[in-house]
Structure 1
Amino acid sequence: MYSAETHQNLISRIPGVTGRTIEDWLHAVAEGPGLLRCEDKIDWLRREYEISYGYAKAIVHEYDLRRAAARM
Structure 2
Amino acid sequence: MEESMPLNHSMETHHKLIARVPDITGRALPEWFQALDNGPSFLRCEERANWLAAEHGLTHGYAAAIVHEHERHRRQHL
Give me the TM-score of the superposition, normalised by structure 2: 0.84
Aligned counterparts of 1:55 and 1:63: Cα–Cα separation in 2 = 12
Distance in 1 between residues matched to 2:60 and 2:28, nearest whole Å? 17
RMSD (Å) for aligned C-alpha atoms: 1.0
Name structure 1 gaps, 5 residues minimum. Answer: none
Task: Verify: 1:17 aligned to 2:18, yes or no.
Answer: no
Question: Any gaps of 5 or more consecutive residues in structure 2?
Answer: 1-6
Q: What corresponds to 1:67 in structure 2?
A: 74
Match of 2:35 among 16, 28, 33: 28
- Between Structure 1 and Structure 2, how many residues are aligned? 71
- Counterpart CA distance in 2 for 1:69 and 1:3 is 21
Distance 1:29 1:17 in 2: 18
* TM-score calculated relative to the size of structure 1: 0.91
Task: Look up the SS of the partner of 2:77 in the other structure.
Answer: helix
Tell me the residue number matched to 1:6. 13
Question: What residue identity is the alignment partner of 1:33?
Answer: P
Please state which structure has a larger fraction of its residues in helix: 1
Q: Which of 40, 47, 57 in structure 1 is aligned with 2:54?
A: 47
